[in-house]
Amino acid sequence: MMKSFFTLILLLTLMGCDQMESQKKSTHEETNKSEKQLLMDFEMIDLSGSIRNSSEWNNSAKLINFWATWCAPCRREIPLLNETQKNLTGTQIQIIGIAVDDFDEVLSYAETTNFDYPILIGEEDAVAIAENSGVDFIGLPFTMIVTKDQEIIKTHIGEIKEHHIELITQTLKAIENGEMTVSEAKMQLGSI
């Protein structure tokens, strides 16, 4: 009887420790998630061969779209991104395309495709932008939504559709106008 009692006490103690350890892990994970992910400064070549620095757009919120010429969903996004950039005239929101591709391939593709937003080109350098900012780069197309304060508030893997763009631009405008906090924006964008 006494042996069973001690076994029960030991079991309950171990279960309690395990729960406490799980709570510590959960709290640690929540703390890490609440830390800001910031877009690190970068330089890349544009379609004209000029080096562009990301600081050009520091006073704007950004939708940074990683794409490639060989990626069909990436190519399908371009007309929507062009139209969106035109509609964003007069706002502090900038679309930036980053081609994870060979310079000559992108140049050739750009001869038959219009871009109404800046296109930067790199191969490993393009992937490094996301990775240096603490974002796991898994595939293309890949989009980062960034505040004017360089905080990455959402990443999206897969094709951006019109309903995504509407939610993203609405959210970024609300932040710009002081109608929404970054925390609220993260929650709202969590659905895409």
Averaged pLDDT of the chain: 85
Confidence (pLDDT) at 86: 97
**Cis amide prior to 79 (ω within 30 degrees):** no
pLDDT of 136 > 90? The answer is no
More reliable by pLDDT, 85 or 26: 85
Summarised one tens digit per residue, pLDDT across range 73-117 is 999 999 999 999 999 999 999 999 999 999 999 999 999 999 999
Architecture (CATH level 2) of domain 43-189: 3-Layer(aba) Sandwich (3.40)
More reliable by pLDDT, 116 or 9: 116
Summarised one tens digit per residue, pLDDT across range 143-159 is 999 999 999 999 999 99
What's the predicted TM-score (pTM) here? 0.81
At 5, is the pLDDT very low, low, confident or very high (cuts 50, 70, 90)?
very low
Cβ(39)–Cβ(152) below 8 Å: yes
Confidence (pLDDT) at 34: 58
Cβ(38)–Cβ(133) below 8 Å: yes
Cβ(39)–Cβ(146) below 8 Å: yes
Summarised one tens digit per residue, pLDDT across range 32-49 is 445 889 999 999 999 999
